[in-house]
Amino acid sequence: MRVAMIGTGYVGLVSGACFADFGHDVTCVDKDTGKIAALDKGEVPIYEPGLAELVAGNARAGRLKFATSLPEAVKAADAVFIAVGTPSRRGDGHADLSYVFDAAREIAAALSGFTAVITKSTVPVGTGDEVERIIGETRKDADYAVVSNPEFLREGAAIQDFKHPDRIVVGTDDARAREVMAELYRPLYLNRAPILFTGRRTAELIKYAANAFLATKITFINEIADLAEKAGADVQEIARGIGLDNRIGAKFLHAGPGFGGSCLPKDTVALIKTGHDHGAPLRIVEAVAAVNDARKRAMARKVQSALGGDIAGKTIAVLGLTFKPNTDDMREAPSITLIAALQDMGATVRAYDPAGMDQAKPLLGKVAFCDSAYSCAEGASALVIVTEWEEFRALDFARLKSVMAKPVLVDLRNVYSAADVARHGFAYESVGRAGTADS
Ligand SMILES: NC(=O)c1ccc[n+]([C@@H]2O[C@H](COP(=O)([O-])OP(=O)(O)OC[C@H]3O[C@@H](n4cnc5c(N)ncnc54)[C@H](O)[C@@H]3O)[C@@H](O)[C@H]2O)c1
């Protein structure tokens, strides 16, 4: 099959490279000329494990190409994916669909022969109807069907997720489009990944419902963590105790500094807006968004109390800036709010991240960026683990202690245990468990 992928970001590039790897002939298109120039030179513009090798192999085999111009790729394609961004619209939090609609207009002008136009971007329910209308208006003679095929991959494990999905959701009532989708995903189909064919609106809503549910799970365990801390219980054991129940499941029950990233924050807010627009308010999701927002700043107060209440004039070392490990994505990372709050309290912040520093620098003012965990810790009165990169899981505490002003560890990801850290002479504060710091 010939595929055009419009938008070559985290989702478009991974999906395009994986489809090429299945044997399809893929052109990834992006308006960002710098991105496409880099890809043409064999440089992958994002950090995603395994992606550089996958892109290089398929480009070498001639199955994966890159372009800045959309018409040529669309004209030749049996399937055109829209994988452009749908950020929060400034002011009201609705999904900003301008990139999707612009892409739809450009696609319409270039369509040739029957083409499935597939929305992979996360879009509110009803967007497919609008894309269909835009294409029909722009090109009265076009032969096309608009499909919803939301993406569920996780950054940091994106290739594995794309190639071994729990399910593939395809929203369409069109028989020809259904055939195209079955053909595209056949390699996964053979691996028995369930393909769920639904109505288009249902598929659009499945994506938001899934993300809102995951956000709810995280927020639920975060609130239980706050209670556990006050009541002298251990949230990790609680998470295990409830997660072993198959009806609940163990995943997304890790207490921490609140969810961030390119999806959950914007998608929960957009779903809340959609609920209001339809006269069906989503009170639970509203509470999730509000609780999560408050939590990020509350983490700064946790650092403050670990230092006995006063951090003005002190240096705080932050380990991990990206919203999770194994990505360089800084969108809505809890570190951004936490660092701003620490600075508001008068602290000086040093920071280190294994992959996210380039993305972080424009977002974080007055932070001293360091090249390792140990240089970051120099002169610090507390070390704060914000993102649980593997390299922070076996820190050399003796070395840290020798360079820090005060041996205090605030572990917002519960990487360590209080007993382990205490053995090295550190005061310790974590999330939802008893600490040993002087709070
Ligand atoms: N990042 C994730 O983990 C993830 C997971 C599932 C779903 N999604 C959804 O997928 C969509 C894309 O997310 P992303 O993280 O890949 O975004 P991104 O910002 O990394 O990439 C979007 C790309 O689209 C390009 N673009 C915009 N308009 C264009 C046009 N008209 N023609 C060509 N290129 C154009 C931009 O230049 C950019 O490179 C969003 O709706 C997001 O919610 C993201």
Pocket lining for ligand 1, CB < 6 angstroms: 6-12, 29-32, 35, 70, 83-86, 99, 102-103, 106, 121-122, 151, 153, 155, 262-263
Ligand 1 pocket test, pick from 15, 28, 30 with the greatest ligand atom count within 8 Å of Cβ, gives 30
Which residue lies with its CA nearest to atom 15 of ligand 1? 10
| % of residues, the chain, pLDDT over 90 | 96
Is it the case that residue 339 has pLDDT exceeding 80? yes
Atom 30 (ligand 1): residue with closest C-alpha?
Answer: 103
Tens digit of each residue's pLDDT (9 = 90 or more) over 74-118: 999 999 999 999 999 988 999 999 999 999 999 999 999 999 999
Supply the angle between the helices 10-21 and 51-60 in degrees, to the nearest 10. 50
Mention every residue, 6+ apart, whose C-beta is less than 8 A from residue 157: 49, 326
Give every CB contact of residue 145 below 8 A, 6+ residues apart in sequence.
114, 116, 117, 172, 174, 176, 177
Query: Burial code of 160-176, b = ≥16 C-beta within 10 A, e = fewer?
Result: ebbbebeebbbbbebee
- Residue 286: count other Cβ atoms within 10 Å of its Cβ: 16
Is-contact 439 305, C-beta < 8 A?
yes
CB 222, CB 197: distance < 8 Å:
no
Mutation choice for ligand 1 from 13, 84, 89, CB with most ligand atoms inside 8 A: 84
- What tens digit of pLDDT does each residue of 121-180 get? 999 999 999 999 999 999 999 999 999 999 999 999 999 999 999 999 999 999 999 999
